[in-house]
């Protein structure tokens, strides 16, 4: 996607010298206009990946706003953003958390992970958890076991409204690449500089601070154990 | 966010690791400064106590750390070895290596002082001197990295400040000094070589070195006050996540613990006590003497303050996170 000739920063130069070009770059585009908040992805993800009780790799937040009769309600599916500059990878002392060279997915080697929880603190999106069975940290890995076999992730497969679009954006003919080319998209907390690879169409970014600023009533429901948005 | 992932074991480690590293650095610096203990018997005694203290809290703190590991909790006792099968730029990786080196070197350094008749002319002197040179950078490394560890995460606005590591370093040195004075005071009270048993020059030297330590501590605490001021002022002048995070100590759930537990108990009271005894000597060359009980109390307050600092910072960083979505 990136044209190396447009990268003029020194850091970019170093990066090009060190990193080999990725043959693939998996990404997800979430079209919130098509999401009805049914939580089918939440459930599919939990059962597909045997996620322990009380934890979640993916969840769908509800944002309610406005005062009757001028009200709105929208949904925000959440998962690991498979960041280009992941805070979790740079702090991992054992190398258990790493970015896959072949497709950019941020994965965890559970045999190596010692469960120090440094990465849980370093992720600005609160998507990591400690698996009480293995003592290692876990999170969404774009369903590696599925995509390596050429099958789409469980949440994408189950989404009734086709709100989740998954694909290799290095391939211009992929659905995900086309969505990125033809829509205005946003990412979550872009100011953190993590360069997420999960993009949203029509996401409602309002929260309590927005409510304070505008006087509009806003209520966010996370539908996960952590009742405050993290 | 808002969940405490790093609890008491990490707090205890950051505190004890800092204290031990500080004691090691102070011991080695006092030792080297007094021409390897030749210049004054008192300085040698201080270096000796510092050397004997240093490894103990660091090892205890590191031991506490494993209780925070998820792998340990599921009964995998030794998966932490993975830390030492690799080295990367993660502050925890570099820190673990520094820590392991520090523990090794500080144990050897303590060994050279172990005998109760250790003195500057004995057979370990050359080895001791060599180790002292290594202790200083290693100890500073260990004390600094405890702050870098927390500061390395933009996702944690309360911690993500370059001055946090400085604050931890100064606090480590100051609690290190306090622990040496404290242990020495207690050991002497328990009947080890009494300060006044030194004859002539020796007694003078002891008072002199106690004065140097107290004056150093006074200076360290005043720097600490400055760094705390800068930390808060810059956070307050920022907008967004950092400003939001600092609220937790400027009118949030940790405000009283921070201001009373750390600033008043750990900084203001001890520095006032030390000023009362150090300034007459510093400004008017009067004789320095401080009652045992007062010295003990000041040292304990500094140590309690050091713990409170780690406690408040570790918890505050986890209670706050990025704002917006
Ligand atoms: S969202 Fe969090 S866990 Fe996922 S890659 Fe980014 S920093 Fe890492
Ligand atoms: S918990 Fe595991 S994956 Fe996370 S930083 Fe520690 S070793 Fe790395
Ligand atoms: S890609 Fe897989 S692991 Fe990630 S949210 Fe979807 S189902 Fe869960």
Mean pLDDT of B114-123: 85
Instruction: Tell me if chain B has a CB within 8 Å of the CB of A72.
Output: no
Residue B235 has pLDDT above 80, yes or no: yes
Residue A140: asked if its preceding bond is cis (omega within 30°), the reply is no
Please name each of the domains of chain A with its CATH number: 4-221 (3.30.70.20)
Give the span between the Cα atoms of B53 and B109, in whole angstroms. 11
Give chain B's mean pLDDT: 92
Residue of A nearest to B5 (CA): A117
Mean pLDDT of B62-89: 94
pLDDT, tens digit (0-9, with 9 covering 90-100), for B12-42: 999 999 999 999 999 999 999 887 777 778 8
Highest mean pLDDT: which range of A20-34, A140-154, B105-119, B275-289: A140-154
3-state secondary structure of A137: strand
Per residue, the 3-state secondary structure of B54-84, as one string, reads: CHHHHHHHHHHHHHHCHHHHCCCCCHHHHHH
The predicted structure's pLDDT at residue B203:
56
Picking from A114, A122, A137, the nearest residue to B155 by CB comes out as A122
Instruction: State phi, psi for A130 to the nearest 5 degrees.
Output: -90, 125
Give the span between the Cα atoms of B203 and B42, in whole angstroms. 8
Q: How confident is the model at residue B198 (pLDDT cuts 50, 70, 90)?
A: very low
Q: CATH for B8-319?
A: 1.20.1630.10
Give the span between the Cα atoms of B63 and B57, in whole angstroms. 10
- For tokens 């609160």, the residue is A126
Residues of chain A with Cβ-Cβ distance to B74 below 8 Å are: 115, 132-135
Residue A205 has pLDDT above 60, yes or no: yes
Q: How confident is the model at residue A145 (pLDDT cuts 50, 70, 90)?
A: very high
What share of chain B has pLDDT > 90, as a percent?
A: 79
Alpha helices in chain A (DSSP H): 10-18, 40-49, 87-91, 118-122, 144-147, 154-158, 175-182, 208-214
The predicted structure's pLDDT at residue A17:
46
Query: What tokens does B142 get?
Result: 């260990």
What share of chain B has pLDDT > 70, as a percent?
A: 95
Nearest CA to ligand 3 atom 8: A45
Picking from A121, A130, A192, the nearest residue to B70 by CB comes out as A130
3-state secondary structure of B119: coil
Q: Dump the DSSP string for B249-317.
A: TSSSTTHHIIIIIIIIIIIIHHHHHHHHHHHHHHHH-PPP---HHHHHHHHHHHHHHHHHHHHHHHHHH
Instruction: State phi, psi for B238 to the nearest 5 degrees.
Output: -85, 165
Q: Which residues pair with A129 in a beta bridge?
A: A138
The predicted structure's pLDDT at residue A135:
96
The predicted structure's pLDDT at residue B204:
60
The predicted structure's pLDDT at residue B7:
96
Query: pTM for this structure?
Result: 0.92
Q: Is B209:B43 a contact under the CB 8 Å cutoff?
A: yes
Residues of chain B with Cβ-Cβ distance to A230 below 8 Å are: 1-3, 321
pLDDT, tens digit (0-9, with 9 covering 90-100), for A81-109: 999 999 999 999 999 999 999 999 999 99
Q: How confident is the model at residue B107 (pLDDT cuts 50, 70, 90)?
A: very high
Q: Is A80:A139 a contact under the CB 8 Å cutoff?
A: yes
Q: Which residues pair with A219 in a beta bridge?
A: A64
Q: How confident is the model at residue A4 (pLDDT cuts 50, 70, 90)?
A: very low
Instruction: Tell me if chain B has a CB within 8 Å of the CB of A178.
Output: no
Mean pLDDT of B54-77: 95
Give the span between the Cα atoms of B179 and B58, in whole angstroms. 13
Pairing of strands A198-201, A26-31: parallel
The predicted structure's pLDDT at residue A9:
46
Sheet containing A26-31: give its strands across. Answer: A164-168, A26-31, A198-201
Ordered by start, the domain boundaries in chain B are 8-319
3-state secondary structure of A67: strand
Q: Which residues pair with A165 in a beta bridge?
A: A29
Give chain A's mean pLDDT: 92
The predicted structure's pLDDT at residue B75:
93
Q: How confident is the model at residue B193 (pLDDT cuts 50, 70, 90)?
A: low
Mean pLDDT of B145-172: 96
Q: Dump the DSSP string for A197-229.
A: SEEEES-----HHHHHHH---EEEE--SSS-S-
């Amino acid at each position: 996607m990136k044209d190396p000739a447009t990268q003029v920063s020194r850091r970019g130069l170093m990066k090009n010298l060190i990193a080999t070009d990725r043959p693939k770059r998996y990404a997800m585009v979430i079209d919130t206009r098509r999401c009805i908040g049914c939580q089918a992805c939440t459930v599919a993800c939990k059962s597909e990946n045997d996620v322990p009780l009380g934890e979640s790799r993916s969840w769908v937040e509800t944002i309610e706003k406005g005062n009757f009769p001028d009200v709105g309600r929208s949904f925000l599916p959440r998962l690991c953003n498979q960041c280009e500059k992941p805070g979790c990878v740079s702090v991992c002392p054992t190398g258990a958390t790493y970015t896959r060279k072949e497709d950019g997915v941020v994965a965890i080697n559970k045999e190596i992970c010692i469960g120090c929880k440094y990465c849980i603190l370093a992720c600005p999106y609160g998507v990591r958890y400690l698996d009480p069975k293995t003592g290692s940290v876990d999170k969404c890995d774009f369903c590696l076991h599925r995509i390596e076999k050429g099958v789409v992730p469980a949440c994408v497969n189950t989404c009734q409204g086709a709100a989740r679009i998954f694909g290799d954006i290095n391939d211009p003919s992929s659905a995900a690449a086309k969505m990125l080319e033809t829509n205005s998209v946003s990412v979550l907390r872009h100011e953190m500089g993590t360069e997420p690879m999960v993009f949203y169409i029509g996401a409602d970014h309002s929260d309590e601070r927005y409510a304070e600023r505008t006087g509009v009533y806003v209520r966010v429901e996370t539908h996960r154990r952590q009742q405050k948005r993290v | 966010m808002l969940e405490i992932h790093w609890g008491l074991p990490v707090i205890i480690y950051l505190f004890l690791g800092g204290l031990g590293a500080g004691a090691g650095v102070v011991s080695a610096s006092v030792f080297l400064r007094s021409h390897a203990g030749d210049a004054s018997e008192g300085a040698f005694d201080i270096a000796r106590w510092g050397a004997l203290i240093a490894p103990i809290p660091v090892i205890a703190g590191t031991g506490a750390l494993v209780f925070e590991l998820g792998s340990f909790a599921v009964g995998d006792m030794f998966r932490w070895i993975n830390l030492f099968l690799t080295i990367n730029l993660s502050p925890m990786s570099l820190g673990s290596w520094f820590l392991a080196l520090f523990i090794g070197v500080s144990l050897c350094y303590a060994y050279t002082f172990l005998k109760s008749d250790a003195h500057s002319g004995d057979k370990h002197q050359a080895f001791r001197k060599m180790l002292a040179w290594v202790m200083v950078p290693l100890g500073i490394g260990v004390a600094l990295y405890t702050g870098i560890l927390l500061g390395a995460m933009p996702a944690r606005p309360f911690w993500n400040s370059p001055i946090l590591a400085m604050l931890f370093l100064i606090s480590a040195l100051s609690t290190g000094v306090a622990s040496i004075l404290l242990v020495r005071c207690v050991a002497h009270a328990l009947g080890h070589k009494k300060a006044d048993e030194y004859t002539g020059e020796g007694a003078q030297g002891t008072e002199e070195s106690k004065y140097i330590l107290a004056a150093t501590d006074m200076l360290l605490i005043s720097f600490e006050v400055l760094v705390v001021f800068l930390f808060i002022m810059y956070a307050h002048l920022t907008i967004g996540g950092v400003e939001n995070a600092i609220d937790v100590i400027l009118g949030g759930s940790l405000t009283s613990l921070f201001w009373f537990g750390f600033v008043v108990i750990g900084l203001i009271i001890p520095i006032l006590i030390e000023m009362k005894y150090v300034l007459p000597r510093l400004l008017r060359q009067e004789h320095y003497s401080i009652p045992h009980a007062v010295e003990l109390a000041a040292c304990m307050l500094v140590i309690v303050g050091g713990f409170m600092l780690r406690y408040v910072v570790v918890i505050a960083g986890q209670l706050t996170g990025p704002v917006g979505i």
